[in-house]
Structure 1
Amino acid sequence: MSGQSQFALLQSRRFLPFFCTQALGAFNDNVFKNALIILIAFQGATLAGLASTELTIAAAGIFILPFFLFSATFGQLADKYDKSRLIRAAKLLEIGVMGLAALGFALGSIELLLGVLFLMGTQSTLFGPAKYGILPQHLAPEELVGGNGLIESATFLTILLGTMTGGILIALQPSGPIIVSVSVVLIAVIGYLASRAIPPAPPSAPDLAINWNPLSETWRNLRFLSGNRTVFLSVLGISWFWFFGATILQVLPSYTKDILGGSEQVATLVLVLFSLGIGIGSLLCEKLSHRTVEIGLVPLGAAGMTLFGVDLYLAHPEAAGALDLGARAFAEREGSWRVMLDLVLIGLFGGFFIVPLYALVQQRAERAHISRVIAGNNILNAAFMVVSALLSILLLKWLTIPELLLATALLNAVVAVYIFSLVPEFAMRFVAWGLVNLLYRVEVRGVERHVPDEGPALLVCNHVSYVDALVLGGSIPRPVRFVMYYKIHRIPLLGWLFRTARTIPIAGAKEDPALMEKAFEEVRSALRAGEIVGIFPEGALTRDGQIAPFRGGVERILAETPVAVVPMAITGLWESMWSRRDSRLGRMRVPRRLRAHIGVVAGPALPPTSSAAELEEAVRALRGDRA
């Protein structure tokens, strides 16, 4: 995919049929769900003493309950069997479920339609582990962010279209329910036909013995998840996103009617705006992350979700009353554009938050267990969304809808700070990503393909400037333990970043032999623990822009701890204020080019028997003529 955008995937059979299957499924879900919600919210439906607002929230809880109940079982099936076959089975089930939906609309039975909602959730539970587990099988590592961005964008854009379509069709009285019934069955059939073109995805654990006890398997999934700290905390972040998003989506119809004074048209409009924002944010992730799994976008997304969530409350804190405004009349009211912009931006920053987390889970989860990891993710997602539904019903007895939205936005800030304090890598990557992309336009090549997703490796790179580790760290998806000169390690601000990234300070043998030996011991420990270590074998910043001979320290490291060596090269930084070029020319260190083009390129791994001279030659070849 080098030199191509993520949209090139839409020309490939290994992605397009799956993309269409997923998009049609999300579209169909939301045609039905929004038709049912509009029926409940605007036609006064009640059940078991629940008012329309409470029944709307209960409907959302009913849909996601099967994720909590059945994800563990279906995750095992997705690891044991071909995922493309499971997807086709899920689409056949969808046809039957939508046939029951048609019957429910024909009879006008809210009870039957809520039962169908539960069955839809069950079908989606079967589809989920296969859906996210199939992507790493069909996509190259550097395509994961783009593929996930397209899937998330399509999911929320088809939520947008399905929401609009369901709202429009159900409002066509008296024939609306019949039109919805025919539509959902037809879309399910088209989705099944698309699924038949998905290429095979061989099972990752064909000998797995299925545990049919959902309770014990759910517990085992959650324990398995907790074994990988980064994956587990990423899953918690994803689950929190669905708590946040579910809270907003559950109350938007009533927020539209009671607070904004809008009609069914406005209810559809605000859902469209929120979904459109998530779609745009998801697509932007690949561009902003340079096709790497850039978790630095996650704190940015969390900050934006809180900022614009608070502003949504400030934009319209009081109820407007039942004005029954159409979409045009609402848009012309004073303050409405601020509400609409807030909804788009909450969604946009939500896309920044969720796409890197999904890609990170797929990248760092063990391949033989990936569907069960996704199932564990779905279990936690469902648990968070059930809690969201129950908590919303409870809190609305004391809070207004705008106050509930405000509380959710503020809680988002608390949760984000807590997660980032547990994993400083997120915050450190955000600062590194922000600084590097503020100063430079970085072209990254070969990193996703050649830097291993797991296990130890030694990175060797030319040394051009004081910010080399920052640039490399912001371009490599995994945390890297850089070995760096101890005085650079103490530079204000940059030093904090380096210490947060657990860099290894080193000094020359004549300058501080004890510190040098301690550094070699830390390198050995890090590699034996399965971490990536980055070194600059020249031993000092270049004084003339050329690569100096590599020193023998790299051979000592590989002799003591034999691991694969990934050669890397940085280009374009020699002319920056952070190199020694200005010192050599007797000039002040001031920026001379804003957003200059620089490059980071990685080559194929070399064996641990490689000499310093061979590694130097590989780095020279990667760098080429540009210093």
Structure 2
Amino acid sequence: MSGHSQFALLTQRRFLPYFIVQALGAFNDNVYRQAIIGLLFFLGVSTAERSLYAILAPAIFIAPYFLFSAIAGQVAEKLEKQRLIVITTTMEIAIMALAAVGFLLQNMPLLLVALFCTGMQSTLFGPVKYSVLPAILKPEELTGGNGLVEMGTSISILGGMIFGGLIFQLAGAHGPVVAATAIVLLAVTGNRVARRIPRVDAGAPGLKVNFNPLPESLAVLRMARRQPAVRNAILGVSWFWFFGTVLTSQLPAYAEVNLGGAAGSATLYICALALFSIGTGTGSLLCEKLSARTVEIGLVPLGAFGMSAFLLDLYFARPGPAPVGGLGVAGFLAQPGSARIVIDLLGIGVFAGFFVVPLFALIQSRSPSSEMSRVFAALNIQNSGFIVLAALVALAAQRLGWTSPQLFLALALANVAVAAWIFALVPEFLMRFLSWLLVRTLYRMRIRGVEAHVPDEGAALIVCNHVSYMDALILAAGIPRPVRFVMYYRIFEIPVMRWIFRTAKAIPIAGAREDPALMQRAFDAIDATLEQGGLVCIFPEGALTRDGQIAPFKSGVEKILARAAAAGRPVPVVPMALRGMWASMWSRRGERAQSGRLGRMRAPRRFRARVEVAAAAALAGTPPPTAAALEARVRELRGDAA
């Protein structure tokens, strides 16, 4: 995938204005919330009043997500999305103007009213924030685009907290004026940039909005549960928010008690939060590279277990109080074991990025465009519930006398249990992880022509030469969309690989003489998948090559195309070729003839062998292309590189 970079999206109008708007929104929200805390200290209110605010403010901000997410999802489905983003950023200007008055008057009730309105504005923006991405990005750009959004959000939240927290410290008596000016200017800037976002059509312009929040909330939650993979991806994202809320809620006490931070100073806390945020942003950006520009949900198990591993190590790195107190950043870094803690906090964030970005991309790729905003509304409702639950868990742990490291230990173990439960419910996550691990360990892939010639949506038949037992996994790793592979039933039944193939919904097939009933079931399954607009990949040679050369294509591909054409739905055929797989340990090179038996694997010449997947323009028309024409095109694609 050399030559491609997700950062190129930041130079394109279809993405850059949207990216800036969402980053500015996250930044401004956190500037505002931290500036309120700064005002409390500026006014010299009592510790009890500050504690009351610490309880009230998050509840006030999150309440609109429960109350209005379902309505926001419907509105986001009905309206043209760029127009809705302009409306929400215009609302932000009005809300921040109200908040500015609150700062100037130093009126806390007014600021809390504006905080509620900010939550309501964020609720309206939430469904459109992620549902717009599939409309402006190609399928192979979804992972990279989501990675940029998550990186931008993480860094904006951190930057907003730091900037908002410093306003009253640096501006002194002018703090209220500076805070009021900053939040209004940020809102105006976001609105101006929003007007540069290109038009994005509504998902369901004819939708009738139901303004009764309770039944509609139940309706969108049911809608989000229709597909098991989407349902559990939503559960995974909500768990990510639970995990992050519990972790970050403990960082202030952890920084002071376990890292030795100076009492009353937030310096080490901010540094710990910065390490987690930077790690999350870095992990989010790495997802595109690791996934080879596909929606690679195999990264989700990797992220889950990595989060737990680094969180466990964080517990063992400093299970008790710091040996020295009153430290600043330099003093902490000079202490033994500090590097380990820094690496752990970064590692938790990196693997959190691996965990959450593919989940967002999966929801976007598997949800119908006419329902996507409502699916994300359901996600926001569930996220809110998990955030509240996380706050209650952290409070209960505090009441029980648990230390921060003890809660980290419990969270790490709970994360393993929840992840294992999700992967047991949807084995596709673990299957993709195993296949991703196999492919990335054994090969270095080069993809050529796949993005251009495999259609972004709709039915298509892929035909490819058949070189090794790994062919299906290689192709699945290089094609952005889910593919159902048709494979010889004996390959389908290989131990270990059988579970991967079955979970991936591969279609086993046999020859007419071997098992005519199985062959007929395979043709029925192929036709049904194409009728539903899916991708099907077949290997028309009918068996692995024994000499590295392409064998004549059999007539089964013609039967598939003829059946679809007879039903009035002709299917385009995308020729593809595998290059460099003949020397693989999974091919039949060097095998002695064994009648009716599969050959044994051999040790590879070297790991990380270079392989290439090449695709050509789809062939279509009436009558459909013949097997001979498709064979000639695949031969041309493969060239001399077996």
Return the TM-score normalized by structure 1: 0.91
Matched AA of 2:591: S
Contact 1:67 1:378 in 2 (8 A): yes
Moved more, 347-356 or 87-96: 87-96
Task: Give how far 1:346 is off.
Answer: 0.9
**Structure 1 SS opposite 2:444:** strand
Contact 1:24 1:158 in 2 (8 A): yes
Structure 2: how far apart are the matches of 1:530 and 1:237? 27
Deviations along 1:566-617, one digit per CA (max 9) or x if unpaired, are 4322222122222223338999932113212212234454448332223323
2:592 matched to 1:616? no
Which residue in 2 is equivalent to 1:12?
A: 12
1:198-209 aligned within 5 A: 198-209=197-208
Contact 2:615 2:637 in 1 (8 A): yes
Contact 1:572 1:598 in 2 (8 A): yes
Contact 2:292 2:477 in 1 (8 A): no
1:251-330 aligned within 5 A: 251-262=250-261, 263-320=265-322, 323-330=325-332
2:452 matched to 1:435? no
Which residue in 1 is equivalent to 2:189?
A: 190
1:139-150 aligned within 5 A: 139-150=137-148
**Structure 2 SS opposite 1:368:** coil
**Structure 2 SS opposite 1:487:** helix
Contact 2:139 2:481 in 1 (8 A): no
Which residue in 1 is equivalent to 2:596?
A: none
Structure 2: how far apart are the matches of 1:127 and 1:549? 55
Matched AA of 2:280: I
Q: Quick one: structure 1 residues 394 and 37, their matched pair in 2 at CA, closer, same or farther if it must change by over 3 Å? A: farther
2:576 matched to 1:568? yes
Task: Give how far 1:437 is off.
Answer: 0.4
Task: Give how far 1:377 is off.
Answer: 1.6
Contact 1:95 1:189 in 2 (8 A): yes
Task: Give how far 1:557 is off.
Answer: 3.2
1:75 maps to which of 57, 73, 76: 73
Contact 2:583 2:604 in 1 (8 A): no
**Structure 2 SS opposite 1:174:** helix
Contact 1:446 1:603 in 2 (8 A): yes
Q: Quick one: structure 1 residues 141 and 240, their matched pair in 2 at CA, closer, same or farther if it must change by over 3 Å? A: same
Structure 2: how far apart are the matches of 1:45 and 1:597? 66
Which residue in 2 is equivalent to 1:127?
A: 125
2:605 matched to 1:592? yes
Contact 1:292 1:448 in 2 (8 A): no
**Structure 2 SS opposite 1:548:** coil
Task: Give how far 1:510 is off.
Answer: 4.0
Which residue in 1 is equivalent to 2:87?
A: 89
Deviations along 1:482-510, one digit per CA (max 9) or x if unpaired, are 23233323333333322333433333344
Moved more, 206-215 or 447-456: 447-456
Structure 2: how far apart are the matches of 1:573 and 1:470? 12
Q: Quick one: structure 1 residues 15 and 532, their matched pair in 2 at CA, closer, same or farther if it must change by over 3 Å? A: closer
**Structure 2 SS opposite 1:582:** coil
Deviations along 1:286-339, one digit per CA (max 9) or x if unpaired, are 111111111111111111111112222222222449944322222222333222
Structure 2: how far apart are the matches of 1:400 and 1:23? 34
Structure 1: how far apart are the matches of 2:362 and 2:505? 20
**Structure 2 SS opposite 1:201:** coil
Moved more, 107-116 or 368-377: 107-116
1:396 maps to which of 392, 398, 405: 398
Structure 1: how far apart are the matches of 2:307 and 2:125? 28
Deviations along 1:371-429, one digit per CA (max 9) or x if unpaired, are 22221221211221122223322332113333223222221111111111111111000
Which residue in 2 is equivalent to 1:34?
A: 34
1:137 maps to which of 135, 138, 154: 135
Deviations along 1:84-121, one digit per CA (max 9) or x if unpaired, are 12112222222232233334444555544444332222
Deviations along 1:128-186, one digit per CA (max 9) or x if unpaired, are 22221222222222222211111111111122222222233343373445433332222
Task: Give how far 1:200 is off.
Answer: 1.5
Contact 2:463 2:574 in 1 (8 A): yes
1:59 maps to which of 48, 57, 65: 57
Contact 2:42 2:168 in 1 (8 A): no
Task: Give how far 1:512 is off.
Answer: 4.6
Contact 2:139 2:480 in 1 (8 A): no
Contact 1:40 1:55 in 2 (8 A): no
Which residue in 2 is equivalent to 1:351?
A: 353
Matched AA of 1:279: G
Structure 2: how far apart are the matches of 1:424 and 1:453? 25
Moved more, 327-336 or 11-20: 327-336
**Structure 2 SS opposite 1:615:** helix
Return the TM-score normalized by structure 2: 0.89
Moved more, 126-135 or 610-619: 610-619
2:550 matched to 1:551? no
1:410 maps to which of 409, 413, 417: 413
Which residue in 2 is equivalent to 1:459?
A: 462
Matched AA of 1:214: P
Contact 2:171 2:178 in 1 (8 A): no
Q: Quick one: structure 1 residues 580 and 32, their matched pair in 2 at CA, closer, same or farther if it must change by over 3 Å? A: same
Task: Give how far 1:279 is off.
Answer: 0.6
Matched AA of 2:391: A
1:366 maps to which of 345, 365, 368: 368
Contact 1:41 1:253 in 2 (8 A): no
Task: Give how far 1:524 is off.
Answer: 4.9
Share of identical aligned residues, percent? 55
Structure 2: how far apart are the matches of 1:312 and 1:591? 39
Moved more, 6-15 or 306-315: 306-315
Matched AA of 1:18: Y
Structure 1: how far apart are the matches of 2:78 and 2:505? 39
Q: Quick one: structure 1 residues 503 and 370, their matched pair in 2 at CA, closer, same or farther if it must change by over 3 Å? A: closer
**Structure 2 SS opposite 1:292:** coil
Q: Quick one: structure 1 residues 447 and 333, their matched pair in 2 at CA, closer, same or farther if it must change by over 3 Å? A: same
Contact 1:364 1:454 in 2 (8 A): no
Moved more, 255-264 or 82-91: 255-264
Which residue in 2 is equivalent to 1:493?
A: 496
**Structure 2 SS opposite 1:589:** coil
Task: Give how far 1:36 is off.
Answer: 4.0
Structure 2: how far apart are the matches of 1:203 and 1:379? 22
Gapped runs of 5+ residues in structure 1? none
Structure 2: how far apart are the matches of 1:421 and 1:480? 22
Contact 2:544 2:588 in 1 (8 A): yes
Structure 1: how far apart are the matches of 2:118 and 2:11? 30
1:484 maps to which of 480, 483, 487: 487
Which residue in 1 is equivalent to 2:99?
A: 101
Structure 1: how far apart are the matches of 2:340 and 2:107? 39
Deviations along 1:255-286, one digit per CA (max 9) or x if unpaired, are 32344332211121111111101110111111
**Structure 2 SS opposite 1:202:** coil
Q: Quick one: structure 1 residues 296 and 447, their matched pair in 2 at CA, closer, same or farther if it must change by over 3 Å? A: farther
**Structure 1 SS opposite 2:170:** coil
Deviations along 1:323-363, one digit per CA (max 9) or x if unpaired, are 44322222222333222221111111111111111111111
Which residue in 2 is equivalent to 1:424?
A: 427
**Structure 2 SS opposite 1:294:** coil
Q: Quick one: structure 1 residues 596 and 284, their matched pair in 2 at CA, closer, same or farther if it must change by over 3 Å? A: same
Q: Quick one: structure 1 residues 504 and 118, their matched pair in 2 at CA, closer, same or farther if it must change by over 3 Å? A: same
Task: Give how far 1:247 is off.
Answer: 1.8
Structure 2: how far apart are the matches of 1:319 and 1:617? 71
Which residue in 1 is equivalent to 2:220?
A: 221
Structure 2: how far apart are the matches of 1:261 and 1:109? 36
Which residue in 2 is equivalent to 1:156?
A: 154
Task: Give how far 1:526 is off.
Answer: 5.2
- Over the aligned positions, Cα root-mean-square deviation in angstroms equals 3.0
Contact 2:281 2:353 in 1 (8 A): yes
Structure 1: how far apart are the matches of 2:196 and 2:465? 46
Gapped runs of 5+ residues in structure 2? 594-598
Q: Quick one: structure 1 residues 489 and 137, their matched pair in 2 at CA, closer, same or farther if it must change by over 3 Å? A: closer
